[in-house]
Structure 1
Amino acid sequence: MLMALTTAFALSQAFRTVAAILATPLQAEFGLSPQALGLFAGAFHFAFGALQLMMGIGIDLQGVRRTVLMAFPLAIVGAAVSALAPNFAVLVAGQVLIGIGCAPAFLVCTVFIARQFPAERFAAVSGMTLGIGSLGMLLTGTPLAWLVQATSWRTGFWALGAGSALSWLLILRLVQEPPAPVASTERPSVLGALRSYGALFALPHTLGIVALAWVTYASFISLRGLWLGPLLIERHGFSLVQSGNVAIAVSVVGMFGPVLFGRFDPGASRRRWIVGFTLTVAAVFGMMAFDPGAALDVAGLIAVGVLSGYIVLQYADVKAAYPAAMTGRAMAVFTMAMFLGVAVMQWFTGAVASIASAHGADPFMSVLLTIAALLVSGAAAFVLLPKPTGTRASSTG
């Protein structure tokens, strides 16, 4: 049952990174500016992130199976709309539908694991699920690049839509609703569930956590899911398939990063590690900004893929920063911040690239320096804003 649910998560990972391979052919067909390309890539993440709280409430009220079966068909419809899109506006509408359809894909996995597996196995099984789900990013590397180069970008959407339909059928056939926690004797109303998030935002340390969450995952996905292809193709003359090969390498190392950092969680010094790795990734973006050559750009891309695994430490920090009764809501808010951050960063870096091009500046230098600056700003907010206190927060340092 968990593997069936994970197939939807894997397709979600594929949809969120498709822009890296489709950017060049979409620009050629619709005459897109970098800003419009950022809007296209960000539309999925905005819809995905904006609905995290509502999907969490839906899981509480309707259950894992019903929530994903009701939402995921919109991803299939969105893929068809994107494949048939006659213009850019329809293409963006298709991305929004895909984002809504994929919104519960990972949440249903985590709730299923929490209800079906012993508590001591939650981290291990969740890590395995993240790793398997990340296989979806491999689809948007060489395989998608080869398919698009041999046919068209529209075929790529048809292929992902067909995969999504198969995933939905697997969930329909194999997944049964896991039992709700024994303590859940009464279902809250939608309004009551929304009100419960107020207590979370009333805590002063939430702002620093959200500020950093806004930029860390966004930096990796903006690079892997949007700028990787244009950077290699336009700056270094790579072919679509060659850039797909690099995307595969970044995705593979990105799969193992969370496992590596999860095994070496430093506990008491976790927050210092989080800040240190955020600044290290910012430095890699800064190095790539100054066009150090194809070899170093590829090395930088792979380094960001490996180092992005430290984001798993942010999950541990969130869990330690709140009372047990608030953990679920805290995770939902953290996830929402991550994906809304992706949407904003992709749109904003697209705007930066357009402005740079209009003024004769290197758009990739401008984009990469912007991401580096945002990472430094997020780390500064994390350090300077109020920190968690209390027994659960003590392990965060």
Structure 2
Amino acid sequence: MAPEVSPTLPARSAWAMVLTLCTAFALSQAYRTVGAIMAGPLQAEFNLSAQDLGLFSGAFHFAFGAMQLFMGIGIDLHGVRRTVLVAFPLAIAGGLLSAMAASFPLLIAGQVLIGVGCAPAFLVCTVFIARHFPAARFASVSGLVLGIGGLGMLLTGTPLAWLVETRSWRMGFAVLTAASALAWLSILSWVREPARDEAQPKESLLAALRRFGALFAMPHTLGILLLGSVSYAAFISLRGLWLGPLLVERHGYSLVQSGNVALVMSVVSLFGPPLFGRLDRDGPVRRRRIVACCAAYAALFAAIGIFHAAWIDIACAIVIGLLSGFIVWEYADVRVAYPAALTGRAMAVFTMAMFLGVAMMQWLTGLAASLAQSRGIEPYSAVLGTISALLVAGCAAFAWLPAPPGAVAGKP
């Protein structure tokens, strides 16, 4: 039987390596969703406002997103393994600093370090898949990786809620730091890459940055990035920051009860990317489906903001967890929208937009919550309304701005 991956790497080895790389990605998923459980204890210890909570959660995503271009260059110049091994120790250092932080600025510094350290975690997975798996299987394999990486969110559901409630939020960071060290060791031990072709000239840093500029000059890039900046951000802003406070303050749930809901939402979200990956179709059909899913997505966030019944809030959150899997179609869209030589950089730019979008959305929703509270308005209605409006704007940009020529013509 012919190998199902690159001939330079046996199928079994490729799968083992991509799953090992998933350990760092899973930890990055855990770090970016701790806010939903730690928000209350952090507010109590550091006397934080809703806007401060948005800053706390957004710091990780801003650092993560801002480093994507550099991580993309690092991967192209030095490879997947070296890039993640050099960067990920910063996440370990940031976890330790967060666990020991005596002030809010130190806590933010820890989040920034974690964000920088985790910056290559998903990018190395997507680039590895693009290089060593057939293009036709990119969406399905990426969807599986997204689902497996989502296991990290399970840690920040009931298990983290129990740990924070029985011990402290500091112990939560300590456990995640220890797990990060184990992930780094596993990548060091198991991940290897085929030798680079030394005959190929090595690209300079300046030349690499100029090739990024070529992406932004393409007319279809803007619509792709505008949708990418809000689609994942919406899911993470709810699951990673506002879900816990909403259930505690709006419905009187305990920390563990809200953790249970977060756990269910996380479990459901694991099935979304593999499911949507299997349903993927090339050409304009994919883009029409992306628009339809995004519109339904925005409606679910609006429903949580408008209706204050606990069962509606929980049901919508769970459906949002499943529907968030359509984001794998966005990655597949990026995969075919650019020449093969620009795949790694295109993935880096798209991932940068996603996580800078998370930082922006979490800051904006924190601001919306603070403004609503100052005017006597229920803050979570403002938060969910803001998310829904941003999704509608991103969806409209994706639908109305120029599409890649292949998508218009219905070609891969």
The letter for the 2-side match of 1:205 is H
1:165 maps to 181
The letter for the 2-side match of 1:208 is G
1:370 maps to 386
1:18 maps to 34
Contact 2:126 / 2:347 at 8 angstroms: preserved in 1?
A: no
Q: Please list the CA deviations of residues 48-88 of structure 1 after superposition, one character each: whole Å capped at 9, or x if unmatched.
A: 01101101111122222221111111101100111111111
1:192 maps to 207
1:237 maps to 252
Contact 2:143 / 2:276 at 8 angstroms: preserved in 1?
A: no
* Distance change >3 Å, CA 184–CA 11, structure 1 → 2: farther
Q: Percent identity?
A: 65
Please list every run of 5 or more consecutive structure 1 residues that lacks an aligned counterpart in the other structure: none
Q: Is 1:224 the equivalent of 2:235?
A: no
Larger mean CA deviation between 231-240 and 122-131 belongs to 122-131
Q: Is 1:8 the equivalent of 2:46?
A: no
The letter for the 1-side match of 2:232 is Y
- TM-score between both structures, scaled by the size of structure 2: 0.92
Matching of residues 1-397 of structure 1 within 5 Å: 1-180=17-196, 182=197, 185-267=200-282, 268-389=284-405, 391=406, 394-395=409-410
Q: Please list the CA deviations of residues 25-55 of structure 1 after superposition, one character each: whole Å capped at 9, or x if unmatched.
A: 1111111100000000000010001101101
CA offset at residue 178 of structure 1?
3.4
Larger mean CA deviation between 109-118 and 128-137 belongs to 109-118
Contact 1:271 / 1:396 at 8 angstroms: preserved in 2?
A: no
Contact 1:253 / 1:302 at 8 angstroms: preserved in 2?
A: yes
* Distance change >3 Å, CA 107–CA 184, structure 1 → 2: farther
RMSD of aligned Cα (Å): 1.8
Larger mean CA deviation between 80-89 and 125-134 belongs to 125-134
Question: How many Å separate the matches in 2 of 1:361 and 1:255?
Answer: 34
Q: Please list the CA deviations of residues 133-180 of structure 1 after superposition, one character each: whole Å capped at 9, or x if unmatched.
A: 111010000110000000000000000000001111112222223334
Contact 1:115 / 1:179 at 8 angstroms: preserved in 2?
A: no
Question: How many Å separate the matches in 1 of 2:377 and 2:275?
Answer: 39
Question: How many Å separate the matches in 2 of 1:161 and 1:264?
Answer: 36
Question: How many Å separate the matches in 2 of 1:117 and 1:284?
Answer: 35
Question: How many Å separate the matches in 2 of 1:115 and 1:334?
Answer: 17
Larger mean CA deviation between 206-215 and 89-98 belongs to 206-215
CA offset at residue 183 of structure 1?
9.3
* Distance change >3 Å, CA 259–CA 154, structure 1 → 2: same
Question: How many Å separate the matches in 1 of 2:147 and 2:224?
Answer: 24
CA offset at residue 3 of structure 1?
2.7
* Distance change >3 Å, CA 121–CA 307, structure 1 → 2: closer
Contact 1:38 / 1:349 at 8 angstroms: preserved in 2?
A: yes
Q: Please list the CA deviations of residues 273-330 of structure 1 after superposition, one character each: whole Å capped at 9, or x if unmatched.
A: 1111111111111111123311110001001111111111111222232233333222
Q: Please list the CA deviations of residues 311-366 of structure 1 after superposition, one character each: whole Å capped at 9, or x if unmatched.
A: 11111222232233333222211111011000100011001101110111110000
The letter for the 1-side match of 2:145 is T
Larger mean CA deviation between 115-124 and 298-307 belongs to 115-124
Question: How many Å separate the matches in 2 of 1:124 and 1:138?
Answer: 22
Contact 1:68 / 1:105 at 8 angstroms: preserved in 2?
A: yes
The letter for the 1-side match of 2:363 is W
Question: How many Å separate the matches in 2 of 1:380 and 1:393?
Answer: 17
Contact 1:79 / 1:161 at 8 angstroms: preserved in 2?
A: yes
Contact 1:116 / 1:178 at 8 angstroms: preserved in 2?
A: no
Question: How many Å separate the matches in 2 of 1:376 and 1:258?
Answer: 22
Contact 2:88 / 2:184 at 8 angstroms: preserved in 1?
A: yes
CA offset at residue 116 of structure 1?
4.1
* Distance change >3 Å, CA 308–CA 327, structure 1 → 2: same
CA offset at residue 127 of structure 1?
2.7
* Distance change >3 Å, CA 209–CA 256, structure 1 → 2: same
Question: How many Å separate the matches in 1 of 2:212 and 2:90?
Answer: 27
* Distance change >3 Å, CA 207–CA 396, structure 1 → 2: farther
Question: How many Å separate the matches in 2 of 1:258 and 1:174?
Answer: 25
